[in-house]
Amino acid sequence: MTKRKKLAVIIALSLCISLLACSAETTSYETDDQSIFKTFTVVAEGNVGSYAAQTIMYDPDTQVMYAYFDGSYAGCVTKLYNADGTYKLYSPGKEYTTFIVIAEENVGSYAAQTIMYDPDTQVMYSFFDGSYAGDVTELYNADTTLKLYPY
């Protein structure tokens, strides 16, 4: 074997060994409650109008509440708000219900819209269920305050 071939083999082996020696960085999680990721805790479920099912839940670490909407073609999640614009927080022992529908109809050729409000806070939300995607959002007044029912 020539010197060039020996050198090429040594370089190739060195590269292979160095690549094998590298490993992906692993993450270890602590075992205390503060560092363990927890899933949301469901507090209410039900249908919201003709187009969506709703799940109301909260994050057990922060107590912030969320709503998940599952429509005919799309699903989405949103944070829940109090009337003053702060996040709605979970209160143990309180009974929660799904949103109350005010109106629903087709919007154009490709989407259905549901207008609803949170009976606890009166904050209004809109859910769009489109052919390929969906979205939910809180509604606002022109002065940027949250729109409350009755408006």
What pLDDT score was predicted for residue 37? 66
Q: Is the pLDDT of residue 24 over 60?
A: no
In a domain, 8, yes or no: no
The answer to the question of residue 150 being in a domain is no
Q: Is 27 a residue whose pLDDT tops 50?
A: no
- Tell me the residue ranges of DSSP E strands in 83-123: 100-107, 111-117
The answer to whether residue 112 scores a pLDDT higher than 70 is yes
d(CA 133, CA 141): 25
Range scoring the smallest mean pLDDT among 8-17, 73-82, 131-140: 8-17
Assess if residue 28 is contained within a domain: no
* 60 pLDDT higher than 70: yes
User: CA angle, 100 as apex, 38 and 54 as ends, to 5°?
Assistant: 35
Name the amino acid, one letter, at 34. Q
- For residue 58, what pLDDT is reported? 96
Cβ neighbours, 10 Å, residue 73: 15
Kindly state the percentage of the chain with pLDDT values over 70.
76
Note whether residue 113 is domain-resident: yes
* Contact (Cβ atoms closer than 8 angstroms) between residue 53 and residue 44: no
For residue 86, name the pLDDT band (cuts at 50, 70, 90). Answer: very high
Residue 101 forms part of a structural domain:
yes
Is 66 inside a domain boundary?
A: yes
Whether 13 maps to a domain, the answer reads: no
How many domains would you assign to the chain?
1
| 118 exposure class (CB count in 10 Å sphere: 0-12, 13-18, 19+) | buried
Predicted local distance difference test score (pLDDT) of residue 63: 95
Domain carrying residue 48: 36-138
